[in-house]
Amino acid sequence: MNETDRVAMVFKQKLAWCLLILRLGIAIVFVMWAIDKFINPTHAAAVFERFYKLSGLTSEITYAIGGAQSVLILAFIAGLFRTYSYGAILILHTISTVSSYMKYIDPWTYPNLLFFAAIPMLSACIVLWVLRTHDVYTLDAWRATVKRN
C-alpha cells in the first residue's frame, strides 16, 4: 500500500467515526423530543399548536406521533435505509427550524436565543444526509457487506 492509499484509508476511517458521532448527537435531540410526546403529551400538543398550527391533538394522537417518530429514530440510529431515514430527519428538523422563525427575529427575548442551536443542528443534518454513503458504521453498510460475501 502506497502513502496515498494509506492516507485515503485513514481519512475514510476518521470520516466514518465523525459521521457516526454526528448521527448519534442528532439522535439525542430527536430521542428527547419523542420521549416528551410520551411523558408529557400535553406539552407536545402545545408545541404542535404553537409552532405547527395543529390544534386539538389528543394524548392518543401525540402517542401515535411519538411512536412513529421512535421507529424513525431507531432506523436513523442504526443507519438503516439511510437515504430515507436521514432524509426524514432532515425534513423534520428543517420544518422545526423554519417554524420557529419568529424566535430568530427577536433573539434577545428569553428563551429565544436558545432556538439558534437549531441552526447548527440543521447544518449537521444536511452534512449527514449529503455524506450518508460514507457513514459506514451502519446496518445498511453491514447488509451491503453481507450481500457481497
For residue range 36-92, list pLDDT tens digits in order. 999 999 999 999 999 999 999 999 999 999 999 999 999 999 999 999 999 999 999
pTM across the whole model: 0.93
* H/E run at residue 5: helix 3-39
Cis peptide before 111 (omega within 30 of 0): yes
Give the model's pLDDT for residue 149.
Answer: 73
Give the model's pLDDT for residue 147.
Answer: 87
Q: Is the dihedral of CA 92, 94, 98, 104 positive or negative?
A: positive
81: left (phi over 0), alpha (psi -120 to 50) or beta: left
Ordered by start, the domain boundaries in the chain are: 3-148
CB atoms within 10 A of CB 76: 24
Q: Is the pLDDT of residue 145 over 90?
A: no
Give the model's pLDDT for residue 65.
Answer: 97
Average pLDDT, the chain: 95
For residue range 95-115, list pLDDT tens digits in order. 999 999 999 999 999 999 999
Q: Which three cell numbers stand for residue 102?
A: 419568529
Q: Is the pLDDT of residue 148 over 90?
A: no
